[in-house]
Structure 1
Amino acid sequence: MLLLALDTATPAVTVALHDADGDRTLAASHQVDARRHGELLLPAVDRVLTEAGHVLRDVSGIVVGVGPGPYTGLRVGLATAEVFGSALGIPVHGLCTLDGIAYASGLDVPFVVATDARRKEVYWARYADARTRLDEPGVERPAALPDEVTRLPAVGAGAVLYEDVFQGVRKDLPAEQSAPALARLAAEKLARGEDFPPPRPLYLRRPDAQVPASYKVVTPK
Protein backbone atom coordinates (compact mmCIF):
# COMPACT_ATOMS: atom_id res chain seq x y z
CA MET A 1 0.00 0.00 0.00
CA LEU A 2 1.44 3.35 -1.06
CA LEU A 3 0.39 6.35 1.03
CA LEU A 4 0.96 9.90 -0.18
CA ALA A 5 1.16 12.15 2.88
CA LEU A 6 1.10 15.94 2.82
CA ASP A 7 0.59 18.79 5.26
CA THR A 8 0.46 22.57 4.81
CA ALA A 9 -1.04 23.57 8.18
CA THR A 10 2.26 25.04 9.41
CA PRO A 11 4.98 27.04 7.58
CA ALA A 12 6.35 23.67 6.42
CA VAL A 13 5.24 22.30 3.05
CA THR A 14 5.93 18.63 3.65
CA VAL A 15 5.24 15.65 1.38
CA ALA A 16 6.17 11.96 1.57
CA LEU A 17 5.47 8.71 -0.26
CA HIS A 18 5.31 5.83 2.21
CA ASP A 19 5.27 2.10 1.56
CA ALA A 20 2.96 0.91 4.34
CA ASP A 21 3.56 -2.77 3.59
CA GLY A 22 7.34 -2.39 3.82
CA ASP A 23 7.15 0.26 6.58
CA ARG A 24 9.52 2.63 4.82
CA THR A 25 9.43 6.10 3.35
CA LEU A 26 10.35 5.99 -0.33
CA ALA A 27 10.89 9.73 -0.81
CA ALA A 28 10.13 12.97 0.99
CA SER A 29 10.25 16.74 0.50
CA HIS A 30 10.34 19.40 3.21
CA GLN A 31 10.36 23.16 2.62
CA VAL A 32 9.59 25.89 5.15
CA ASP A 33 7.94 28.97 3.65
CA ALA A 34 4.79 30.34 5.27
CA ARG A 35 3.75 32.34 2.19
CA ARG A 36 4.24 29.89 -0.70
CA HIS A 37 2.20 26.79 0.14
CA GLY A 38 0.24 26.95 -3.11
CA GLU A 39 3.36 27.47 -5.18
CA LEU A 40 5.44 24.75 -3.55
CA LEU A 41 3.05 21.87 -2.89
CA LEU A 42 2.40 20.39 -6.34
CA PRO A 43 6.06 20.56 -7.47
CA ALA A 44 6.95 18.82 -4.20
CA VAL A 45 4.45 16.03 -4.90
CA ASP A 46 5.85 15.59 -8.41
CA ARG A 47 9.41 15.57 -7.10
CA VAL A 48 8.63 12.96 -4.43
CA LEU A 49 6.85 10.64 -6.87
CA THR A 50 9.68 10.97 -9.42
CA GLU A 51 12.35 10.26 -6.82
CA ALA A 52 10.45 7.17 -5.65
CA GLY A 53 9.96 5.91 -9.20
CA HIS A 54 6.15 6.06 -9.06
CA VAL A 55 3.31 8.00 -10.63
CA LEU A 56 0.23 9.38 -8.93
CA ARG A 57 -2.03 6.53 -10.06
CA ASP A 58 0.15 4.09 -8.07
CA VAL A 59 -0.96 5.71 -4.81
CA SER A 60 -3.42 3.70 -2.67
CA GLY A 61 -4.44 6.42 -0.21
CA ILE A 62 -3.89 10.05 0.73
CA VAL A 63 -2.97 11.23 4.23
CA VAL A 64 -3.42 14.94 4.95
CA GLY A 65 -2.89 17.13 7.99
CA VAL A 66 -6.16 18.84 8.97
CA GLY A 67 -4.62 21.43 11.28
CA PRO A 68 -5.11 23.36 13.38
CA GLY A 69 -3.40 25.98 11.27
CA PRO A 70 -3.83 29.33 9.50
CA TYR A 71 -6.74 29.45 7.07
CA THR A 72 -5.02 29.86 3.69
CA GLY A 73 -2.09 27.49 4.06
CA LEU A 74 -4.21 24.78 5.62
CA ARG A 75 -6.73 24.79 2.78
CA VAL A 76 -4.01 24.37 0.12
CA GLY A 77 -3.13 20.90 1.41
CA LEU A 78 -6.70 19.83 2.09
CA ALA A 79 -7.99 20.94 -1.31
CA THR A 80 -5.11 19.17 -3.06
CA ALA A 81 -5.73 15.97 -1.10
CA GLU A 82 -9.44 16.04 -1.93
CA VAL A 83 -8.75 16.54 -5.64
CA PHE A 84 -6.27 13.66 -5.72
CA GLY A 85 -8.65 11.38 -3.84
CA SER A 86 -11.58 12.21 -6.10
CA ALA A 87 -9.58 11.89 -9.34
CA LEU A 88 -8.02 8.56 -8.33
CA GLY A 89 -11.01 7.12 -6.49
CA ILE A 90 -8.95 6.44 -3.36
CA PRO A 91 -9.55 7.26 0.32
CA VAL A 92 -8.35 10.50 1.90
CA HIS A 93 -7.41 10.15 5.57
CA GLY A 94 -7.28 13.22 7.79
CA LEU A 95 -4.94 13.46 10.76
CA CYS A 96 -4.44 16.23 13.32
CA THR A 97 -1.26 18.12 12.45
CA LEU A 98 -0.23 18.21 16.11
CA ASP A 99 -0.47 14.40 16.20
CA GLY A 100 2.12 14.16 13.43
CA ILE A 101 4.55 16.38 15.33
CA ALA A 102 3.90 14.37 18.51
CA TYR A 103 4.54 11.08 16.71
CA ALA A 104 7.81 12.37 15.27
CA SER A 105 9.02 13.21 18.78
CA GLY A 106 9.08 9.54 19.81
CA LEU A 107 8.52 10.55 23.45
CA ASP A 108 7.11 8.00 25.89
CA VAL A 109 6.40 10.48 28.70
CA PRO A 110 3.68 13.16 29.02
CA PHE A 111 4.44 16.27 26.95
CA VAL A 112 2.84 19.15 25.06
CA VAL A 113 2.98 20.08 21.37
CA ALA A 114 2.71 23.76 20.46
CA THR A 115 2.78 25.38 17.02
CA ASP A 116 2.75 29.07 16.13
CA ALA A 117 -0.84 30.30 15.70
CA ARG A 118 0.23 33.91 15.07
CA ARG A 119 -1.47 36.76 16.98
CA LYS A 120 0.93 35.88 19.84
CA GLU A 121 -0.93 32.59 20.35
CA VAL A 122 -0.14 28.89 19.97
CA TYR A 123 -2.11 25.85 18.86
CA TRP A 124 -1.48 23.20 21.49
CA ALA A 125 -2.43 19.79 22.84
CA ARG A 126 -1.21 17.48 25.60
CA TYR A 127 -0.01 13.92 25.00
CA ALA A 128 0.52 10.92 27.24
CA ASP A 129 3.11 9.64 24.76
CA ALA A 130 3.93 10.03 21.06
CA ARG A 131 0.76 8.20 19.98
CA THR A 132 -1.80 9.28 22.59
CA ARG A 133 -3.39 12.73 22.68
CA LEU A 134 -5.12 13.52 25.97
CA ASP A 135 -7.46 16.33 24.92
CA GLU A 136 -8.74 18.28 21.95
CA PRO A 137 -6.37 20.86 20.41
CA GLY A 138 -6.74 24.41 21.67
CA VAL A 139 -5.53 27.92 20.84
CA GLU A 140 -4.30 30.24 23.56
CA ARG A 141 -1.74 32.84 24.51
CA PRO A 142 1.17 30.91 26.01
CA ALA A 143 1.14 32.94 29.23
CA ALA A 144 -2.51 31.96 29.78
CA LEU A 145 -1.80 28.21 29.69
CA PRO A 146 -1.95 26.37 33.02
CA ASP A 147 1.30 25.76 34.88
CA GLU A 148 0.82 21.99 34.59
CA VAL A 149 1.00 22.42 30.80
CA THR A 150 3.92 24.83 30.54
CA ARG A 151 6.02 22.70 32.92
CA LEU A 152 5.76 19.65 30.63
CA PRO A 153 8.40 18.77 28.03
CA ALA A 154 7.41 20.88 25.02
CA VAL A 155 7.78 20.11 21.31
CA GLY A 156 7.10 22.26 18.26
CA ALA A 157 7.86 25.66 16.74
CA GLY A 158 5.41 27.37 19.09
CA ALA A 159 7.24 26.04 22.11
CA VAL A 160 10.57 27.21 20.69
CA LEU A 161 9.11 30.65 19.90
CA TYR A 162 7.84 31.07 23.47
CA GLU A 163 10.59 29.29 25.38
CA ASP A 164 10.31 31.96 28.06
CA VAL A 165 6.93 30.40 28.93
CA PHE A 166 7.42 26.71 28.10
CA GLN A 167 9.90 25.48 30.67
CA GLY A 168 10.92 22.17 29.09
CA VAL A 169 11.44 22.99 25.39
CA ARG A 170 12.99 20.04 23.55
CA LYS A 171 15.10 21.73 20.89
CA ASP A 172 16.71 18.39 20.15
CA LEU A 173 13.43 17.14 18.64
CA PRO A 174 11.79 18.13 15.31
CA ALA A 175 9.92 21.43 15.63
CA GLU A 176 8.08 21.31 12.29
CA GLN A 177 5.56 18.92 10.81
CA SER A 178 6.97 15.82 9.07
CA ALA A 179 5.07 14.07 6.26
CA PRO A 180 7.04 10.83 6.80
CA ALA A 181 5.93 10.80 10.45
CA LEU A 182 2.34 11.59 9.45
CA ALA A 183 2.41 8.69 6.96
CA ARG A 184 3.86 6.24 9.49
CA LEU A 185 1.22 7.21 12.04
CA ALA A 186 -1.52 6.72 9.44
CA ALA A 187 -0.09 3.32 8.45
CA GLU A 188 -0.20 2.21 12.09
CA LYS A 189 -3.80 3.37 12.47
CA LEU A 190 -4.82 1.61 9.26
CA ALA A 191 -3.17 -1.61 10.40
CA ARG A 192 -5.16 -1.43 13.66
CA GLY A 193 -8.40 -0.64 11.84
CA GLU A 194 -8.79 2.71 13.62
CA ASP A 195 -10.97 5.56 12.40
CA PHE A 196 -9.62 8.83 11.02
CA PRO A 197 -11.03 12.33 11.38
CA PRO A 198 -12.61 13.61 8.16
CA PRO A 199 -10.29 15.51 5.82
CA ARG A 200 -11.81 18.85 6.77
CA PRO A 201 -10.00 21.90 8.16
CA LEU A 202 -9.71 22.04 11.94
CA TYR A 203 -10.32 25.73 12.63
CA LEU A 204 -10.11 26.92 16.21
CA ARG A 205 -10.87 30.58 15.52
CA ARG A 206 -12.28 32.81 12.81
CA PRO A 207 -10.07 33.70 9.79
CA ASP A 208 -8.08 36.94 9.81
CA ALA A 209 -9.96 38.24 6.77
CA GLN A 210 -13.37 39.64 7.69
CA VAL A 211 -16.19 41.29 5.73
CA PRO A 212 -16.19 45.00 6.68
CA ALA A 213 -18.98 45.99 9.04
CA SER A 214 -19.74 49.02 6.86
CA TYR A 215 -18.61 49.86 3.37
CA LYS A 216 -19.48 52.33 0.66
CA VAL A 217 -21.78 51.04 -2.09
CA VAL A 218 -20.36 52.01 -5.48
CA THR A 219 -22.96 50.36 -7.77
CA PRO A 220 -25.51 52.71 -9.33
CA LYS A 221 -28.98 52.79 -7.81
Structure 2
Amino acid sequence: MTARADGLTLGLDTSGVVAAGLARGTEVLASRSHDDTRAHVEQLTPLVQTLLEEAGAGWDDLTRVVVGIGPGPFTGLRVGIASAEVLALALGLPCTGVCSLDVLALQAVRAEAVTGDFVVVTDARRREVYRATYAADGTRTSGPEVGPAAQVPALPVVGPGAHLDAELADRSVAAVGSLDAGVLAAGVDLLPDAGLEPLYLRRPDATVPGRPKSTLVTPAPRLRVRPASGRRGSGA
Protein backbone atom coordinates (compact mmCIF):
# COMPACT_ATOMS: atom_id res chain seq x y z
CA MET A 1 0.00 0.00 0.00
CA THR A 2 1.45 3.36 -1.05
CA ALA A 3 0.48 6.90 -0.07
CA ARG A 4 -0.53 9.69 -2.46
CA ALA A 5 2.27 12.14 -3.08
CA ASP A 6 -0.01 15.12 -2.35
CA GLY A 7 -1.50 13.70 0.83
CA LEU A 8 -0.69 14.37 4.47
CA THR A 9 1.54 12.18 6.60
CA LEU A 10 0.72 11.93 10.31
CA GLY A 11 3.62 11.31 12.68
CA LEU A 12 3.10 9.97 16.22
CA ASP A 13 5.61 9.29 18.96
CA THR A 14 5.07 8.32 22.60
CA SER A 15 8.58 7.10 23.45
CA GLY A 16 8.95 10.08 25.80
CA VAL A 17 6.50 12.95 25.70
CA VAL A 18 3.30 12.74 23.63
CA ALA A 19 4.16 14.11 20.17
CA ALA A 20 2.23 14.43 16.91
CA GLY A 21 3.07 16.15 13.64
CA LEU A 22 1.82 16.66 10.10
CA ALA A 23 3.80 16.88 6.88
CA ARG A 24 3.14 17.11 3.16
CA GLY A 25 6.03 15.36 1.50
CA THR A 26 9.21 16.66 3.17
CA GLU A 27 7.53 19.88 4.37
CA VAL A 28 6.57 20.06 8.06
CA LEU A 29 3.11 21.61 8.36
CA ALA A 30 2.51 21.43 12.09
CA SER A 31 3.96 19.85 15.20
CA ARG A 32 2.73 19.66 18.78
CA SER A 33 3.70 17.85 21.96
CA HIS A 34 2.49 17.37 25.51
CA ASP A 35 5.16 17.08 28.18
CA ASP A 36 3.29 14.76 30.57
CA THR A 37 5.00 11.40 30.11
CA ARG A 38 2.15 9.64 31.93
CA ALA A 39 -0.79 11.00 29.91
CA HIS A 40 -0.28 9.32 26.55
CA VAL A 41 -3.79 7.86 26.36
CA GLU A 42 -5.55 11.09 27.35
CA GLN A 43 -3.52 13.47 25.19
CA LEU A 44 -2.70 11.72 21.91
CA THR A 45 -6.05 11.85 20.09
CA PRO A 46 -6.87 15.46 21.09
CA LEU A 47 -3.37 16.45 19.96
CA VAL A 48 -3.96 14.95 16.50
CA GLN A 49 -7.35 16.63 16.25
CA THR A 50 -5.78 20.00 17.07
CA LEU A 51 -3.11 19.48 14.40
CA LEU A 52 -5.70 18.71 11.73
CA GLU A 53 -7.71 21.80 12.65
CA GLU A 54 -4.59 23.99 12.49
CA ALA A 55 -3.79 22.63 9.03
CA GLY A 56 -7.39 23.06 7.84
CA ALA A 57 -7.52 19.32 7.16
CA GLY A 58 -9.61 16.33 8.14
CA TRP A 59 -9.03 12.66 8.76
CA ASP A 60 -9.77 11.92 5.09
CA ASP A 61 -6.78 14.06 4.04
CA LEU A 62 -4.35 11.66 5.71
CA THR A 63 -2.60 9.26 3.36
CA ARG A 64 0.07 7.76 5.64
CA VAL A 65 0.82 7.16 9.30
CA VAL A 66 4.31 6.85 10.76
CA VAL A 67 5.07 6.08 14.39
CA GLY A 68 8.17 6.06 16.57
CA ILE A 69 8.72 2.59 18.03
CA GLY A 70 11.17 3.61 20.74
CA PRO A 71 13.21 2.72 22.60
CA GLY A 72 11.02 3.86 25.45
CA PRO A 73 8.89 2.75 28.39
CA PHE A 74 6.52 -0.18 28.00
CA THR A 75 3.17 1.59 28.46
CA GLY A 76 4.02 4.69 26.44
CA LEU A 77 5.19 2.76 23.39
CA ARG A 78 2.13 0.51 23.41
CA VAL A 79 -0.18 3.54 23.33
CA GLY A 80 1.52 5.19 20.37
CA ILE A 81 2.01 2.07 18.26
CA ALA A 82 -1.47 0.71 18.91
CA SER A 83 -3.04 4.10 18.12
CA ALA A 84 -1.12 4.35 14.85
CA GLU A 85 -2.06 0.82 13.79
CA VAL A 86 -5.76 1.26 14.64
CA LEU A 87 -5.94 4.64 12.87
CA ALA A 88 -4.21 3.29 9.77
CA LEU A 89 -6.48 0.26 9.70
CA ALA A 90 -9.63 2.36 10.13
CA LEU A 91 -8.65 4.75 7.33
CA GLY A 92 -7.07 2.15 5.07
CA LEU A 93 -3.64 3.78 5.20
CA PRO A 94 -0.07 2.40 5.20
CA CYS A 95 1.63 2.47 8.62
CA THR A 96 5.40 2.66 9.08
CA GLY A 97 7.51 2.38 12.22
CA VAL A 98 10.89 4.07 12.75
CA CYS A 99 13.38 4.18 15.61
CA SER A 100 12.68 7.28 17.70
CA LEU A 101 16.40 7.93 18.19
CA ASP A 102 16.78 8.11 14.40
CA VAL A 103 14.27 10.98 14.35
CA LEU A 104 16.31 12.95 16.88
CA ALA A 105 19.41 12.31 14.79
CA LEU A 106 17.61 13.65 11.70
CA GLN A 107 16.62 16.75 13.67
CA ALA A 108 20.29 17.35 14.51
CA VAL A 109 21.31 17.00 10.86
CA ARG A 110 18.49 19.28 9.66
CA ALA A 111 19.46 21.92 12.22
CA GLU A 112 23.13 21.63 11.14
CA ALA A 113 23.93 21.10 14.80
CA VAL A 114 26.57 18.41 14.19
CA THR A 115 29.64 18.22 11.97
CA GLY A 116 30.91 14.76 12.83
CA ASP A 117 29.93 11.60 14.69
CA PHE A 118 27.49 12.11 17.56
CA VAL A 119 25.32 10.19 20.02
CA VAL A 120 21.60 10.51 20.74
CA VAL A 121 20.44 9.92 24.31
CA THR A 122 16.98 9.80 25.89
CA ASP A 123 15.74 9.09 29.40
CA ALA A 124 15.45 5.38 30.21
CA ARG A 125 14.71 5.99 33.91
CA ARG A 126 16.41 3.91 36.63
CA ARG A 127 19.39 6.31 36.22
CA GLU A 128 20.00 4.99 32.71
CA VAL A 129 19.73 6.31 29.16
CA TYR A 130 18.82 4.91 25.77
CA ARG A 131 21.58 5.66 23.27
CA ALA A 132 22.66 5.20 19.68
CA THR A 133 25.61 6.64 17.74
CA TYR A 134 25.42 8.29 14.33
CA ALA A 135 27.62 9.52 11.52
CA ALA A 136 27.52 13.19 10.53
CA ASP A 137 24.83 12.51 7.91
CA GLY A 138 22.49 10.92 10.48
CA THR A 139 23.21 7.29 9.60
CA ARG A 140 23.06 5.09 12.69
CA THR A 141 26.35 3.29 13.32
CA SER A 142 25.55 1.46 16.57
CA GLY A 143 22.68 0.86 18.96
CA PRO A 144 20.12 1.37 20.19
CA GLU A 145 21.24 0.28 23.64
CA VAL A 146 20.36 1.02 27.25
CA GLY A 147 22.71 1.55 30.16
CA PRO A 148 24.30 4.04 32.57
CA ALA A 149 25.35 7.48 31.35
CA ALA A 150 28.97 6.53 32.01
CA GLN A 151 28.79 4.08 29.08
CA VAL A 152 27.84 6.75 26.54
CA PRO A 153 30.65 7.23 23.98
CA ALA A 154 32.72 10.44 24.28
CA LEU A 155 30.97 12.26 21.41
CA PRO A 156 28.73 15.33 21.10
CA VAL A 157 25.35 14.54 22.66
CA VAL A 158 21.91 15.14 21.15
CA GLY A 159 18.54 14.55 22.75
CA PRO A 160 16.47 15.04 25.89
CA GLY A 161 18.55 12.61 27.97
CA ALA A 162 21.56 14.92 28.14
CA HIS A 163 20.34 16.73 31.27
CA LEU A 164 20.40 13.51 33.28
CA ASP A 165 24.17 13.63 33.75
CA ALA A 166 26.51 16.59 34.21
CA GLU A 167 29.18 15.17 31.89
CA LEU A 168 26.61 14.53 29.15
CA ALA A 169 25.20 18.03 29.61
CA ASP A 170 28.66 19.50 28.97
CA ARG A 171 28.71 17.77 25.57
CA SER A 172 25.09 18.51 24.72
CA VAL A 173 24.05 20.12 21.43
CA ALA A 174 21.46 22.61 22.64
CA ALA A 175 19.79 22.95 19.23
CA VAL A 176 18.00 19.60 19.64
CA GLY A 177 15.66 18.94 22.55
CA SER A 178 12.59 16.69 22.53
CA LEU A 179 11.44 14.72 19.52
CA ASP A 180 9.66 16.71 16.81
CA ALA A 181 6.90 14.56 15.31
CA GLY A 182 6.68 16.93 12.34
CA VAL A 183 10.23 15.92 11.39
CA LEU A 184 9.19 12.32 11.97
CA ALA A 185 6.35 12.72 9.45
CA ALA A 186 8.43 14.66 6.91
CA GLY A 187 11.47 12.41 7.14
CA VAL A 188 9.84 8.99 7.02
CA ASP A 189 11.34 8.16 3.61
CA LEU A 190 14.81 9.17 4.83
CA LEU A 191 14.71 6.89 7.87
CA PRO A 192 15.12 3.10 7.98
CA ASP A 193 11.85 1.17 8.24
CA ALA A 194 12.02 -0.47 11.66
CA GLY A 195 8.75 -2.39 11.57
CA LEU A 196 6.06 -2.01 14.20
CA GLU A 197 7.48 -4.08 17.05
CA PRO A 198 8.25 -1.80 20.02
CA LEU A 199 11.87 -1.38 21.09
CA TYR A 200 11.71 -1.99 24.83
CA LEU A 201 15.39 -3.07 25.24
CA ARG A 202 14.57 -4.43 28.70
CA ARG A 203 11.73 -6.08 30.53
CA PRO A 204 8.82 -3.93 31.77
CA ASP A 205 8.69 -2.87 35.42
CA ALA A 206 5.34 -4.60 35.89
CA THR A 207 5.22 -8.33 35.24
CA VAL A 208 2.56 -11.00 35.42
CA PRO A 209 2.78 -12.65 38.85
CA GLY A 210 3.69 -16.29 38.94
CA ARG A 211 1.81 -19.05 40.71
CA PRO A 212 1.53 -18.18 44.42
CA LYS A 213 3.39 -20.38 46.82
CA SER A 214 1.35 -22.34 49.30
CA THR A 215 1.62 -21.22 52.93
CA LEU A 216 0.14 -24.46 54.27
CA VAL A 217 2.40 -26.80 56.17
CA THR A 218 2.72 -30.03 54.29
CA PRO A 219 1.85 -32.89 56.63
CA ALA A 220 4.57 -35.40 57.26
CA PRO A 221 4.15 -38.56 55.24
CA ARG A 222 2.54 -41.43 57.10
CA LEU A 223 4.69 -44.49 57.47
CA ARG A 224 3.02 -47.67 56.49
CA VAL A 225 4.11 -50.53 58.78
CA ARG A 226 4.18 -53.88 57.14
CA PRO A 227 3.38 -56.77 59.45
CA ALA A 228 6.21 -59.19 60.08
CA SER A 229 5.82 -62.38 58.12
CA GLY A 230 5.84 -65.62 60.11
CA ARG A 231 5.29 -69.29 59.61
CA ARG A 232 1.93 -70.73 60.40
CA GLY A 233 2.39 -73.19 63.19
CA SER A 234 1.07 -76.78 63.01
CA GLY A 235 -2.10 -77.63 64.91
CA ALA A 236 -2.00 -79.63 68.18
Q: TM-score, normalised by structure 2?
A: 0.81
Equivalent residue for 1:15? 20
| Structure with max Cα Rg | 2
Equivalent residue for 2:73? 70
Equivalent residue for 1:54? 57
Please say if 1:83 is aligned against 2:86. yes
Residue ranges of structure 1 left out of the alignment (5+ in a row): 190-194
Shift of 1:213: 4.4
**Contact 2:64–2:95 under 8 Å retained in 1:** yes
- The residue type paired with residue 104 of structure 1 is Q
3-state SS of 2:201 partner = coil
**Contact 2:12–2:19 under 8 Å retained in 1:** yes
1:176, 1:40 → 2: CA distance? 17
The match for 2:31 among 22, 28, 31 is 28
Post-superposition Cα deviations, 1:12-71, rounded to whole Å, max 9, x if no partner, equal: 211111000xx3222221211111111100000000011111111211110100000000
**Contact 2:121–2:130 under 8 Å retained in 1:** yes
Equivalent residue for 1:115? 122
**Contact 1:14–1:179 under 8 Å retained in 2:** yes
Q: Provide the aligned length of Structure 1 versus Structure 2.
A: 204
2:14, 2:136 → 1: CA distance? 24
- The residue type paired with residue 194 of structure 2 is P
Equivalent residue for 1:5? 11
Equivalent residue for 2:204? 207
Equivalent residue for 2:187? 185
Spell out structure 1 runs of 4+ moving beyond 6 A. none
Shift of 1:214: 5.5
Post-superposition Cα deviations, 1:76-99, rounded to whole Å, max 9, x if no partner, equal: 110100001111111111110001
**Contact 2:157–2:168 under 8 Å retained in 1:** no
3-state SS of 2:124 partner = strand
Residue ranges of structure 2 left out of the alignment (5+ in a row): 1-6, 215-236
- The residue type paired with residue 6 of structure 1 is L
Q: TM-score, normalised by structure 1?
A: 0.86
